[in-house]
């Protein structure tokens, strides 16, 4: 036993001795230095990119200094308990700044495992691309995590970064009025933190993005793009992702987005002014968060505020081809596209225990918008020119929805919907909801199968459109004032109800929709509400339990 312990201790000591710390200073450094002490640092990112970093090695950039160019981390492998670390050193709070103007990326992480990048600021404001070709679409990223060859790559942590002002074009570039009406943009953009794996023979696993601040980028703030087909069970190349406690503001596109990822969690993030139009180089359209073609997505304890744009631009919406998306315990406020938007071919997804405040203000304007803002919009869209499909078995319960006088967002349910459960929600509308005028959303299009719609609380009888105009209506509505603490306030606590008689224990238990053999992967019953109050006995109405 003692001999085994000594061998292990010797091995650990050997690992520590073999690890090297490299220092980088743009002011006092020289690439001819050894780089292994703060007194003799390297100078450039080009030199740092040439280092063959190993498990336990550290690359530290001097605080308060600016480094021009791109830091390329390619083909590097740390160990799970002994990662390669890229971070900062020195005194003061000012992070080292990488200015990648004119380069494709501020930090490139390619074909790497067990690397932690933290405590760095990155910008790249314009500068175009060297040898730029006409009619070719380019992508500039603050951070790009990607693959270039076959392999399994795991354990990438991106933490405490400030990524700001990422644009490919120079100030004053005008995209044209029609660009923001395109599906995802057709031109070259700047992106914040971008994760891409287009290879079926490579995987990216166990990714953590935490406590990063992304602001003022031309397109998306934090975005994942994998390859595969969720319906065929082929989502395998981006797996097990955590996006925790980040702030994304003034992104020109969506603040956060995930395509073709298995097992992803967005927790504790804040988004503000996604789809920002305040710079002509931005796309000018985007939800706080949306998911497409994902399997198992948990979205909780986030704040989505002030999304802008002529299409989508909800707080958090479920695009098409997803399975098992749970949206719970979030605050959604003043997003022009609306609160609940669910597109086609989605299975067994839910919005529950969220608070929505003044969502869905967008008006339908011909040739300028792609639709009106919605309170609840459910349709089967799966791509332009394709036959609508589903969605299937959607559960919407125990949400609190407040809409001030004059907004009047839409509700709409396409005839392609199959299976929907709406219960225990509070619809506190000072005005009323309108309805989707498209033919497939009107009662004349035919009934929706497998509907459970009952036991929701409405402030007034005209809050919900009549059965003459909307596909489904509440079979057991309840009317009354929940007496929220501060209607119109911007926090969940402002919607604590005081009308005990109307709210307490008045919810119904949620059960499987007729014809649904799966239900929700995590079950229908939750232990607590959006504020952390325990749910005892029957659920109350809305997102907040009365203590």
Q: DSSP characters for 320-372?
A: SS-EEEEEES-EEES-TTEEEEE-SS-EEEEEES-EEES---PPP-TTT-SS-
Whether residue 322 contacts residue 351, with contact meaning beta carbons closer than 8 Å, is answered with: no
Q: Which helix (H) or strand (E) holds 164?
A: strand 162-167
Please state, in angstroms and rounded to a whole number, the distance separating the CA atoms of residues 9 and 23.
Answer: 28
Whether residue 221 contacts residue 266, with contact meaning beta carbons closer than 8 Å, is answered with: no
Phi, psi dihedral angles at 422 (to 5 degrees) = -125, 115
Distances (CA, A) of 491 to 122, 217, 328, 496: 32, 27, 15, 10
- Tokens 């839409």: give the residue: 410
Other CB atoms closer than 10 Å to residue 80's CB: what's the count? 11
Output the six-digit token pair for 352. 């529950």
Helix (H, G, I), strand (E, B) or coil at 317: strand
Summarised one tens digit per residue, pLDDT across range 469-528 is: 999 999 999 999 999 999 999 999 999 999 999 999 999 999 999 999 999 999 999 999
Please state, in angstroms and rounded to a whole number, the distance separating the CA atoms of residues 311 and 309.
Answer: 6
Phi, psi dihedral angles at 518 (to 5 degrees) = -105, -40
3-state secondary structure 72-121: EEECCECECCECEEEEEECCCCCCCEEECCCCCEEEEEECCECEEEECCE
| pTM check: above 0.85 | yes
Strand spans (E) along 246-336: 247-251, 256-259, 262-267, 270-272, 289-292, 295-300, 303-305, 316-318, 323-328, 331-333
* pLDDT by 10s per residue, the chain, length 547: 555 554 555 455 444 558 999 999 999 999 999 999 999 999 999 999 999 999 999 999 999 999 999 999 999 999 999 999 999 999 999 999 999 999 999 999 999 999 999 999 999 999 988 888 888 899 999 999 999 999 999 999 999 999 999 999 999 999 998 999 998 999 999 999 999 999 999 999 999 999 999 999 999 999 999 998 776 677 779 999 999 999 999 999 999 999 999 999 999 999 999 999 999 999 999 999 999 999 999 999 999 999 999 999 999 999 999 999 999 999 999 999 999 999 999 999 999 999 999 999 999 999 899 999 999 999 999 999 999 999 999 999 999 999 999 999 999 999 999 999 999 999 999 999 999 999 999 999 999 999 999 999 999 999 999 999 999 999 999 999 999 999 999 999 999 999 999 999 999 999 999 999 999 999 999 999 999 999 999 999 999 999 8
Residue 13: the pLDDT is 46
Please state, in angstroms and rounded to a whole number, the distance separating the CA atoms of residues 112 and 363.
Answer: 46
Please state, in angstroms and rounded to a whole number, the distance separating the CA atoms of residues 298 and 312.
Answer: 20
Q: Which of 217, 96, 109 is nearest to 163 (CA)?
A: 217
Output b/e per residue, 277-304; b: 16+ Cβ within 10 A. eebebbbbbbbbbbbbbbbbbbbbbbbb
The single-letter DSSP state of residue 179 is: G
Helix (H, G, I), strand (E, B) or coil at 200: coil
N-terminal to C-terminal alpha carbon distance within the chain: 56
Q: Which helix (H) or strand (E) holds 11?
A: helix 2-18
Summarised one tens digit per residue, pLDDT across range 41-92 is: 999 999 999 999 999 999 999 999 999 999 999 999 999 999 999 999 999 9
Four-point Cα dihedral 507, 509, 510, 511, nearest 10: -150
Instruction: Name every residue whose Cβ is closer than 8 Å to that of residue 396 and which is 6 or more positions away in sequence.
Output: 340, 350, 351, 352, 376, 420, 421, 422, 423, 425
Count of alpha carbons within 13 angstroms of residue 449, beta-carbon side: 8
Q: Cis peptide leading into 212, omega within 30 of 0?
A: no
Output the six-digit token pair for 211. 């406590």
- Tokens 């608070």: give the residue: 355
Count of alpha carbons within 13 angstroms of residue 438, beta-carbon side: 17
Burial class (CB in 10 A: 0-12, 13-18, 19+), 406: exposed
Q: DSSP characters for 12-72?
A: HHHHHHH--EEEE-TTT--TTS--SSTTS-B--HHHHHT----TT-EEEEETT-EEES-EE
Other CB atoms closer than 10 Å to residue 153's CB: what's the count? 24
Other CB atoms closer than 10 Å to residue 461's CB: what's the count? 9
Whether residue 245 contacts residue 222, with contact meaning beta carbons closer than 8 Å, is answered with: no
Instruction: Name every residue whose Cβ is closer than 8 Å to that of residue 317 and which is 6 or more positions away in sequence.
Output: 287, 289, 290, 337, 338, 340, 341, 342, 343
Residue 177: the pLDDT is 87
Q: DSSP characters for 475-517?
A: SS-EE----BSSTT-SSGGGG-B--HHHHTT-PPPP-PPTT-S
């Amino acid at each position: 036993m003692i001999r085994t312990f000594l061998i292990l201790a010797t091995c650990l000591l050997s690992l520590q001795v073999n690890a090297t710390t490299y220092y980088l200073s743009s002011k006092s450094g020289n690439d001819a230095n050894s780089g292994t002490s703060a007194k003799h640092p390297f100078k450039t990112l080009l030199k740092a990119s040439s280092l063959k970093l190993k498990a336990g090695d550290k690359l530290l950039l001097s605080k308060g200094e600016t480094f021009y160019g791109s830091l390329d981390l390619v083909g590097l492998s740390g160990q799970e308990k002994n990662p390669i670390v890229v971070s900062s050193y020195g005194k003061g709070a000012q992070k080292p700044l990488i200015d990648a103007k004119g380069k494709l990326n501020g930090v490139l992480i390619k074909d790497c495992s067990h690397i932690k990048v933290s405590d760095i600021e990155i910008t790249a404001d314009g500068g175009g691309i060297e040898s730029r070709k006409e009619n070719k679409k380019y992508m500039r990223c603050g951070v790009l995590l990607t693959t270039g060859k076959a392999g399994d790559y795991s354990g990438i942590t991106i933490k405490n970064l400030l990524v700001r002002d990422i644009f490919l074009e120079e100030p004053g570039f005008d995209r044209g009025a029609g660009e923001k009406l395109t599906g995802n943009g057709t031109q070259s953009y700047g992106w914040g933190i971008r994760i891409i794996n287009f290879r079926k023979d490579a995987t990216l696993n166990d990714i953590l993005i935490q406590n990063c601040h992304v602001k003022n980028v031309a397109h998306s703030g934090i975005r994942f793009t994998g390859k595969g087909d969720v319906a065929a069970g082929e989502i395998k190349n981006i797996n097990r992702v955590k996006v925790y406690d980040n702030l994304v503001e003034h992104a020109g596109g969506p603040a956060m987005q995930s395509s073709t990822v298995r097992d992803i969690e967005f927790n504790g993030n804040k988004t503000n002014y996604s789809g920002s139009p305040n710079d002509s180089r931005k796309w000018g359209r985007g939800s706080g968060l949306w998911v497409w073609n994902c399997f198992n997505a948990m979205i909780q304890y986030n704040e989505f505020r002030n999304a802008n744009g002529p299409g989508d631009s909800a707080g958090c919406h479920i695009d098409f081809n997803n399975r098992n998306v749970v949206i719970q315990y979030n605050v959604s406020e003043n997003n022009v596209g609306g609160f609940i938007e669910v597109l086609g071919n989605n299975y067994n997804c839910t919005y529950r225990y969220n608070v929505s405040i003044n969502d869905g203000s967008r008006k339908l304007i011909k040739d300028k918008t792609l639709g009106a803002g919605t309170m609840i919009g459910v349709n089967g869209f799966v791509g332009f020119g394709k036959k609508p499909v589903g969605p299937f078995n959607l559960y919407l319960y125990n949400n609190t929805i407040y809409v001030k006088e004059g907004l009047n967002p839409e509700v709409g349910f396409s005839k392609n919907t199959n299976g929907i459960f709406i219960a225990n929600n509070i619809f506190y509308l000072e005005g009323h909801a309108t309805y989707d005028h498209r033919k497939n959303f009107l009662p004349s299009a035919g009934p929706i199968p497998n509907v459970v719609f009952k036991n929701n609380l409405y402030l007034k009888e005209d809050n919900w459109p009549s059965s003459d105009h909307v596909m489904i209506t509440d079979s057991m509505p309840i009317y009354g004032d929940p007496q929220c603490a501060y209607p119109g306030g911007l926090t969940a606590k402002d919607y604590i109800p005081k009308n005990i008689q109307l709210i307490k224990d008045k919810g119904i238990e949620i059960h499987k929709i007729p014809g649904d053999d799966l239900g929700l992967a995590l079950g229908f019953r939750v232990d607590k509400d959006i504020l952390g109050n325990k749910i005892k006995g029957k659920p109350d109405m809305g997102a907040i339990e009365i203590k």
